[in-house]
Homo-oligomer: A and B are copies of this chain.
Amino acid sequence: MLMDEFLRAADEVCGAGFVVAGPAIEPRYLQPARYAAGQAAALVRPSTTAQVAALVKLCARHELILVPQGAHTGLVQAGTPTDASMHVLLTTERLREVFEFDPLDRTLRVSAGYRLSEVNERLAAHGLWFPIDLSADPSIGGMLAHNTGGTRMLRYGDVRANTLALTAVLGEGQVLHLGRGLQKDNAGLALQHLLVGSSGALGLITEATLKLHPLPRQQASALIAPASLEAVMPLYQRAMAGELAGMVSAFEGMSAAALQAALHLRGDPGRLFGGQLPAYALLLELSSELPAASLDLHALLQRWLECEFEAGAVVDAVLGADDTVWSLRHGISEGLREQGRVIGFDLSLPRRHFMRMRELAGAWLGAEFPQALVADFGHLGDGGMHCNLVWPKSAPPLDNEQMARLRSGIYAICADLGGSFSAEHGIGPSLQADYRALTEPAVLRLSGQVESLFDPRQTLGLTSFGPVWKSVL
């Protein structure tokens, strides 16, 4: 009854055909990539900021929870509604009002519904890009809501560092314009940076002004077999501060298990490293905006690798076609899923403790969960570690209590080393309990108070940054 009233009113806001009642929602809106399917009372598909504002007001009035969804590629369940009577799913896919490119400012004002790939295809003709590199193809709104990092963050920074302004709808339907889209602006509190990474809990971002960067004119990549685990960090150090300084655009690490899973998936016709996989392999990428006539990156990388080979730090390297090298890196996740159930951890560590984390986690798992295969990989260059485990299909599945013990065990080791339990996926229902357990009480309290200012009735999203979880209310 109430829902009928909501559906009618929403129909008036969005126009006919853009509001769908629960049972008729297409599966793609409810089925996330790596989790169980959800459910919702309704799906709404607005096309303007004003429509979003009207829908937020409607939800507030009907005491419904509005769940924003971008491209539905997130990994923390923030975009998947789970309640067939209370949750209204709002997809941002039709928010495509604005695409204003400014070549002189190198900025792009863009609606939340555009996808990263579309944005970069359009910008390529101008020699520019939004340099966040991910395995997925999220929407711009989703990227801001989760402050995605990716493989090239060590050169370009995260989404926040490349966001100059945004428009958001707060929990009572107020539309806020934050920032002016300028490169330099200090005319008030940086409220826009609070919304970046807030998982939609503070406001629904409908539009943003992004800082663009020149496309590199050349890149050179190598897959490297270091001589030992001990050689890894010194290699990193020499790459970042030595002859390659300023040129490194990615420095990724892969455990042998992760690399093997990717090779299994992609095939290994050339017998990588002569079949001798190192315990930990590295992917090093250089980029430069300079043409090869001014600086030959390929030659630079080759010289550096030869020196490291002679010094005994590197035993083998494939200096290669960029596609091959990256195709392996991007094949890891899928490769691992073929081998069993993947239990993912999106950790971040001080670089000095990065290898120690691997060591301690491996030892603890060996004692407590010996069937778990540690297949970590990730962004060593910025301390990001996808500390993924594969639970073999042959082993009895973990029950909830075991899973909770496993997760809190890994998080405890990470926290002891000064690390973070969420590097680049943000916070959502799947990390909500961990967030509450691992955040300082004073920070939790203040964050909850801040959230209450933006969304006093808890109308927005499935995440809460305060001491009490939304869905508990």
Report B-chain residues with C-beta under 8 Å of the C-beta of A343: none
Report B-chain residues with C-beta under 8 Å of the C-beta of A423: 182, 184-186
Q: Known pairs A186-B424, A247-B289. 9 more at Cβ < 8 A?
A: A103-B237, A105-B352, A128-B241, A147-B186, A157-B157, A188-B439, A191-B450, A214-B240, A245-B290
* B187 contacts A435, C-beta separation under 8 Å: yes
Q: Is A294 an interface residue (CB 8 A)?
A: yes
**Distance in angstroms between the alpha carbons of A439 and B189 in the assembled complex:** 11
* B246 contacts A289, C-beta separation under 8 Å: yes
Please give me the residue from chain B that is nearest to A425 by CB atom: B186
Report B-chain residues with C-beta under 8 Å of the C-beta of A420: 180, 182, 184-187
Instruction: Answer whether A351 and B197 are a contact pair too, CB < 8 Å, given A191-B443, A247-B290, A294-B243.
Output: no
Query: Digit string of A237-254 for contact with B (CB within 8 Å is 1, else 0)?
Result: 100110101110000000
Q: Is A33 an interface residue (CB 8 A)?
A: no
Q: Is A2 an interface residue (CB 8 A)?
A: no
Q: Is A198 an interface residue (CB 8 A)?
A: yes
**Distance in angstroms between the alpha carbons of A423 and B184 in the assembled complex:** 5
Among the stretches A14-22, A364-372, A377-385, A401-409, the one at the interface with B is: A377-385
* B348 contacts A383, C-beta separation under 8 Å: no
Give the shortest distance, in Å, between A311 (CB) and chain B (any CB). Answer: 18
Among the stretches A49-57, A170-178, A220-228, A276-284, the one at the interface with B is: A170-178
* A185 contacts B442, C-beta separation under 8 Å: no
Report B-chain residues with C-beta under 8 Å of the C-beta of A146: 186
* A435 contacts B188, C-beta separation under 8 Å: yes
**Distance in angstroms between the alpha carbons of A149 and B439 in the assembled complex:** 31
Can you name 30 A-B pairs with beta carbons within 8 Å? Answer: A104-B233, A104-B352, A106-B240, A147-B190, A176-B443, A176-B446, A180-B418, A180-B420, A182-B420, A183-B351, A183-B383, A183-B384, A184-B348, A184-B424, A185-B422, A186-B424, A186-B425, A187-B427, A189-B465, A190-B197, A214-B245, A214-B246, A217-B245, A243-B291, A243-B294, A247-B289, A290-B295, A294-B300, A450-B453, A453-B453
Give the shortest distance, in Å, between A354 (CB) and chain B (any CB). Answer: 9
Report B-chain residues with C-beta under 8 Å of the C-beta of A48: none
Contact of A422 among B187, B241, B294, B465 (CB under 8 A): B187
Within 336-369 of A, Cβ neighbours of B (below 8 Å) are at 348-352
Report B-chain residues with C-beta under 8 Å of the C-beta of A247: 289-290
Query: Digit string of A424-454 for contact with B (CB within 8 Å is 1, else 0)?
Result: 1111000000010011101100110111011
Q: Is A467 an interface residue (CB 8 A)?
A: no
Tally A residues with Cβ within 8 Å of B: 89
* A245 contacts B186, C-beta separation under 8 Å: no
* B447 contacts A191, C-beta separation under 8 Å: yes
**Distance in angstroms between the alpha carbons of A246 and B217 in the assembled complex:** 11
Interface hub of A180, A419, A421 (most chain B Cβ within 10 A): A180
Q: Is A328 an interface residue (CB 8 A)?
A: no
Report B-chain residues with C-beta under 8 Å of the C-beta of A426: 186
Give the shortest distance, in Å, between A457 (CB) and chain B (any CB). Answer: 16
**Distance in angstroms between the alpha carbons of A81 and B424 in the assembled complex:** 42
Give the shortest distance, in Å, between A455 (CB) and chain B (any CB). Answer: 12
